[in-house]
């Protein structure tokens, strides 16, 4: 495919997304019908689509319209590329720009320039204060790729050398011990031997930092209550089982999310038990709860355009309910850890404040809001101690 043909394909996918089709489904539908497209073509079309999704409002303003075509014109203008150089109408490239399209477009303003819905722009400012602008700007960019070195299989230097031998360049990141930021060759990770042998796992550095901050000691019995794919459970197992051992259990309200966990644990050399009905007490229960995902919108940008105030209210209710249930699983004197990949205070500090009001005697030992400026996604974590 030519560069112009890739843009035309991206425009068609974006129109399907605007009509309500989820992004991944729209991309899959296009790729199934485009068997002529190679892996580089599919990657390029995907990049165009997600670049626009991150900048949904500003590209529409600068492109002079809300179609996929207009938004791509706006994206090219933002990137300093003359749209007329690619919108030529030749072959499978998009049709040449009309006089109206050449004249259209304006500079975005306010929340539009920050590529946020107005109501979320207000919430983010209330949540982060002076840091909100930088956080919103970061969400407009592609996210870096991070790996967690699995210490059950090797150390950081071993992992870096193995990855470099396969054309994957990395550098340590200070936010979490054992974290590597991928600087080149990210698309080779899934097919690499280092990944296949469990030496490294894909995990955001802020997510790694949340686990690194947990006061894990040998012999502990811990539960990842909202495990999802089990990334944090595996990280906890690496810390505990690399010393004198400990028991790590994983649970999720939808067990299908954990379907890959047994294979991942085997690859990592970790012992993680999937449990349908957790039976306490546990020394530590981690609740990485369902949330808006606002801290990870540069990875899943569609989320910031799909989220509604009603859905956010629903999520905060779910979060509070999970915390209340989890209290019953924590041993007296034990720890309840709360985490979100959100930067909205209503899901974070306000949730913890409400929890403490509902549960007298529990104490807050520490909490931290991570923002993209720290290096990874926007995450929040808090550690709550149950009275002995």
- 263-314 pLDDT, tens per residue? 999 999 999 999 999 998 999 999 999 999 999 999 999 999 999 999 999 9
| Residue 243 pLDDT | 65
Flag residues of the chain having pLDDT under 70.
Answer: 243-244
Both tokens of 268, joined, read 């990592």
| Residue 97 pLDDT | 96
Asked if 140 and 115 count as a contact pair (C-beta separation under 8 A), the reply is yes
Both tokens of 63, joined, read 């492109």
Asked if 90 and 110 count as a contact pair (C-beta separation under 8 A), the reply is no
Report the C-alpha gap between 42 and 154 in whole angstroms. 34
Residue 264 neighbours by CB distance under 10 Å: 18
Q: What does the radius of gyration of the chain's CA atoms come to, in whole angstroms? A: 23
**N-terminal to C-terminal alpha carbon distance within the chain:** 65
Taking CA atoms, 51 is separated from 56, 138, 242, 370, 373, in Å, by: 9, 12, 40, 23, 19
| Residue 245 pLDDT | 79
Whole-structure pTM value: 0.92
Give the start-to-end residue ranges of the domains of the chain. Answer: 3-108, 145-202, 212-385
CATH architecture, range 212-385: 3-Layer(aba) Sandwich (3.40)
Both tokens of 379, joined, read 């995450």
Both tokens of 247, joined, read 């028991």
Both tokens of 313, joined, read 């209210």
Catalytic positions: 341
CATH number, span 145-202? 3.30.70.1170
| Residue 147 pLDDT | 97
- What is the 3-class SS of the chain, one letter each residue? CCHHHHHHHHHHHHHHHHCCCCHHHHHHHHHHHCCCCCHHHHHHHHHHHHHHHHCHHHHHHHHCCCCHHHHHHHHHHHCCCCHHHCCCCCCCCCCCCCHHHHHCCCCCCHHHHCCCCHHHHHHHHHHHHHHHHHHHHHCCCCCCEEEEECCCCCCHHHHHHHHHCCCCEEEECCCCCCEEEEEECHHHHHHCHHHHCCCEEECCHHHHHHHHCCCCCCCCEEEECCCCCCHHHHHHHHHHHCCCCCEEEECCCCHHHHCCHHHHHHHHCCCCEECCCCCCCEEEEEEECCCCCHHHCCCCCHHHHHCCHHHHHHHHHHHHHHHHHHHCCEEEEEEEEEEECCCCHHHCHHHHHHHHHHCCCCEEEEEEECCHHHCCCCCEEEEEECCC
| Residue 246 pLDDT | 87
| Residue 262 pLDDT | 94
């Amino acid at each position: 495919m030519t560069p112009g043909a890739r843009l035309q394909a991206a425009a068609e996918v974006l129109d399907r997304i605007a009509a309500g089709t989820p992004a991944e489904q729209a991309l899959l539908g296009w790729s199934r019908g485009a068997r002529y497209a190679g892996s580089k073509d599919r990657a390029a079309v995907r990049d165009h689509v997600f670049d626009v999704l991150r900048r949904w409002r500003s590209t529409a303003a600068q492109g002079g319209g809300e179609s996929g075509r207009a938004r791509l014109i706006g994206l090219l203008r933002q990137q300093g590329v003359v749209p007329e150089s690619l919108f030529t109408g030749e072959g499978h490239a998009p049709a040449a720009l009309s006089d109206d399209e050449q004249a259209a477009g304006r500079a975005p303003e306010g929340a539009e320039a920050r590529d946020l819905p107005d109501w979320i722009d207000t919430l983010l400012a209330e949540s982060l204060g002076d840091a909100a602008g930088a956080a919103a700007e970061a969400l407009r960019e592609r996210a870096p790729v991070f790996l967690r070195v699995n210490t059950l299989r090797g150390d950081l230097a071993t992992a870096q050398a193995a990855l470099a031998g396969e054309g994957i360049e990395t550098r340590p990141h200070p936010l979490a011990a054992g974290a590597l930021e991928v600087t080149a060759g990210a698309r080779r990770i899934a097919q690499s031997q280092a990944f296949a042998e469990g030496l490294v796992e894909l995990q955001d550095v802020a997510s790694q930092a949340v686990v690194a901050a947990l006061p894990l000691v040998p012999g502990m019995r811990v539960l990842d209550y909202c495990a999802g794919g089990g990334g944090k459970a595996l990280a906890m197992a690496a810390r505990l089982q690399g010393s004198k051992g400990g028991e790590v259990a994983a649970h999720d309200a939808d067990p299908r999310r954990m379907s890959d966990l047994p294979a991942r644990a085997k690859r990592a050399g970790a012992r993680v038990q999937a449990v349908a009905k957790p039976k306490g007490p546990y020394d530590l229960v981690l609740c990485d709860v369902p949330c808006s995902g606002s801290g990870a919108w540069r990875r899943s940008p569609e989320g910031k355009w799909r989220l509604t105030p009603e859905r956010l209210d629903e999520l905060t209710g779910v979060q509070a309910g999970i915390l209340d249930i989890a209290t019953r699983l924590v041993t007296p004197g034990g720890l309840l850890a709360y985490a979100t990949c959100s930067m909205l205070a209503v899901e974070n500090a306000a949730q913890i404040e409400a929890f403490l009001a509902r549960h007298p005697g529990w104490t807050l030992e520490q909490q931290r809001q991570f923002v993209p400026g720290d290096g990874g996604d926007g995450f929040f974590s808090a550690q709550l101690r149950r009275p002995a």
